[in-house]
C-alpha cells in the first residue's frame, strides 16, 4: 500500500519517470493527501491512464474501468476520490449512492461519453424495436439509464453473448462494436462514437513500428480501429494489456493506448523494453496530485445523479457486474 511506505521509498517506485527536481512538490502533495485520506475516511481509485505519481504513490486501488467499478462496489470507505474521468466517477456513485464520490476536475470528460445522448438511445430503440441496448461504461448515467446492460472493454463480447439474442445495439464506440462483431456471431448495430485517443492509431503505423523494431510485440486497446486490432498481436482492456506484459514478459512491446499506461506498466517491469508511440488523453490528464489534494480539502466536486436516472442506470451496471 502506498500509504504506509516512507516517502523516500515511494520515490524509488517512480524515479525512472519523475525527475528529482519535481519530486519535492509531489512529495508535499502526497503527504497532504495521505493525511486527508485518513481524516476524511477516503480511498482513491485510479484508472490505468493516471500519471505515475498518482497511480503508484496515492492510489489505493488501480485498474481498468471494470476493476474500478467492481472495487467501488466493495469499498467500506465513506469517501471515494475517482482519479479518472467523469463517467468513472458516476459509475462509482451509482454503485455507492450513500457515499461521497469526488471528481477532482469536472472537465475530465470523454469523447465517447460526449458522442451520444439519452434521446439518441430512445431514437435507436424506436428504429430497432425489441433489440437490447448494450452501453459501454464510457457513457453518461443518463445514457446508461436508457440501456439494458453495460459493458467494458474487458467483458464486451461476454456481455453481448450473455443476452442470448441474435442482434444487439452496442453503443457508443463504433470501433469497439466492430472489434466485438469480428469475434461473435451476434449481429451488432453500432453508433458512431470514437475515442479521440485510440482512433489516431493506424495499421500503417503498426507496420512501420514492426519494421523499425524486429520482434516487437504489439498490444492494442479495442477502441482502436479494426485494422489496427487486426495488425496487433493481442487486443484487450488496459488491465488485459498489463496482465499480458506480466505473464509473457515480451522483450520489446508497444501498447497502442494512452501514454501513462506504458509508464505505469514499465515501472513495474524494468525487464521489458517499451516502444513509445502513444497518444495522450487530455481528459485523464486533467487529474493531478494538486487537484486530488484540493478535492479532499474542500470535498469537491461531489457527483450527484438524479434518482430518476440513477435507479435505471444502476440496474444496467449491476446487471453487467452479475454476468
* Interaction between residue 48 and ligand 13P (CB under 6 A): yes
**Separation of alpha carbons 251 and 177, rounded Å:** 31
- Nearer to ligand 13P by Cβ, of 48 and 179: the residue is 48
Helix then strand count (H, E) for the chain reads 16, 12
Could you tell me the CA-to-CA distances from 105 to 66, 82, 218, 277 in Å, in that order?
21, 10, 33, 27
Cell 469480428, residue?
A: 182
141-170 positions binding ligand 13P, by CB under 6 A: 152-154
**Closest separation between CB of residue 21 and ligand 13P, Å?**
31
Using CB under 6 A, which of 65, 147, 260, 264 touches ligand 13P?
65
Q: From 20-28, 60-68, 177-185, 285-293, give the range in contact with ligand 13P by CB under 6 A.
A: 60-68
**Separation of alpha carbons 39 and 235, rounded Å:** 41
Nearest one of 302, 303, 289 to 36, comparing CA atoms: 289
- Nearer to ligand SF4 by Cβ, of 110 and 180: the residue is 110
**Separation of alpha carbons 297 and 143, rounded Å:** 31
Half-sphere exposure of 76 (CA within 13 A, CB side): 0
Helical ranges in 75-194 per DSSP H:
86-95, 111-114, 118-127, 141-145, 156-162, 174-181
Using CB under 6 A, which of 29, 64, 71, 105 touches ligand 13P?
64
Q: Which does 92 bind (CB under 5 to 8 A by kind): ligand SF4, ligand 13P, none?
A: none
Name the residues that contact ligand SF4, by CB under 6 A: 85, 110-112, 138, 195-197, 223, 258, 281, 283-284
**Closest separation between CB of residue 4 and ligand SF4, Å?**
30
- Nearer to ligand SF4 by Cβ, of 34 and 301: the residue is 301
* Interaction between residue 50 and ligand 13P (CB under 6 A): no
- Nearer to ligand 13P by Cβ, of 40 and 198: the residue is 198
Burial of 308 (0-12, 13-18, 19+ CB in 10 A): exposed
* Interaction between residue 174 and ligand 13P (CB under 6 A): no
- Nearer to ligand 13P by Cβ, of 100 and 202: the residue is 202
What grid cell was written down for 91? 459509475
223-262 positions binding ligand 13P, by CB under 6 A: 223, 237-238
Q: Which does 196 bind (CB under 5 to 8 A by kind): ligand SF4, ligand 13P, none?
A: ligand SF4
- Nearer to ligand SF4 by Cβ, of 85 and 218: the residue is 85
Residue 284 and residue 83 in contact, taking contact as beta carbons nearer than 8 Å = no
**Closest separation between CB of residue 246 and ligand SF4, Å?**
22
Read off the DSSP letter of residue 129.
T
**Separation of alpha carbons 97 and 109, rounded Å:** 21
Could you tell me the CA-to-CA distances from 78 to 57, 97, 98 in Å, in that order?
21, 11, 8
* Interaction between residue 71 and ligand 13P (CB under 6 A): no
- Nearer to ligand SF4 by Cβ, of 85 and 177: the residue is 85
Residue 11 and residue 27 in contact, taking contact as beta carbons nearer than 8 Å = yes
**Closest separation between CB of residue 64 and ligand 13P, Å?**
3
Binding site for ligand 13P (CB under 6 A): 48, 64-66, 138, 152-154, 195, 221, 223, 237-238
Amino acid at each position: 500500500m502506498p500509504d504506509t511506505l516512507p516517502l523516500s521509498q515511494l520515490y524509488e517506485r517512480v524515479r525512472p519517470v519523475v525527475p528529482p527536481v519535481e519530486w519535492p512538490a509531489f512529495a508535499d502533495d502526497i503527504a497532504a493527501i495521505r493525511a486527508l485520506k485518513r481524516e476524511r475516511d477516503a480511498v482513491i481509485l485510479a484508472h490505468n491512464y493516471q500519471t505515475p505519481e498518482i497511480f503508484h504513490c496515492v492510489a489505493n486501488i488501480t485498474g481498468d474501468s471494470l476493476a474500478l467499478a467492481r472495487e467501488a462496489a466493495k469499498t467500506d470507505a465513506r469517501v471515494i476520490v475517482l482519479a479518472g474521468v467523469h463517467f468513472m466517477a458516476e459509475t462509482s456513485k451509482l454503485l455507492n449512492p450513500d457515499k461521497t464520490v469526488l471528481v477532482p476536475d469536472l472537465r475530465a470528460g470523454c469523447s465517447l461519453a460526449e458522442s451520444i445522448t439519452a434521446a439518441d438511445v430512445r431514437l435507436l430503440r424506436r428504429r430497432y424495436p425489441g433489440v437490447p441496448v448494450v452501453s459501454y461504461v464510457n457513457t453518461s448515467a443518463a445514457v446508461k439509464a436508457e440501456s439494458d446492460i453495460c459493458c467494458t472493454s474487458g467483458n464486451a463480447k461476454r456481455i453481448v453473448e450473455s443476452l442470448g439474442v441474435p442482434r444487439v445495439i452496442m453503443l457508443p464506440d463504433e470501433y469497439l462494436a466492430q472489434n466485438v462483431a469480428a469475434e461473435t456471431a451476434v449481429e451488432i448495430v453500432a453508433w458512431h462514437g470514437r475515442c479521440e485517443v485510440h482512433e489516431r492509431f493506424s495499421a500503417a503505423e503498426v507496420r512501420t513500428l514492426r519494421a523499425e523494431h524486429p520482434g516487437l510485440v504489439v498490444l492494442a486497446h479495442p477502441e482502436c480501429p479494426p485494422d489496427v486490432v487486426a495488425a496487433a498481436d493481442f487486443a484487450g482492456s488496459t488491465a488485459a494489456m498489463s496482465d499480458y506484459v506480466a505473464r509473457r514478459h515480451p522483450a520489446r512491446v508497444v501498447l497502442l493506448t494512452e501514454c501513462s499506461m506504458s509508464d505505469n506498466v514499465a515501472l513495474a517491469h524494468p525487464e521489458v523494453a517499451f516502444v513509445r508511440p502513444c497518444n495522450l488523453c487530455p481528459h485523464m490528464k486533467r487529474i493531478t496530485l494538486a487537484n486530488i489534494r484540493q478535492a479532499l480539502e474542500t470535498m469537491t466536486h461531489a457527483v450527484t445523479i438524479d434518482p430518476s436516472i440513477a435507479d435505471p442506470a444502476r440496474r444496467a451496471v449491476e446487471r453487467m457486474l452479475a454476468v
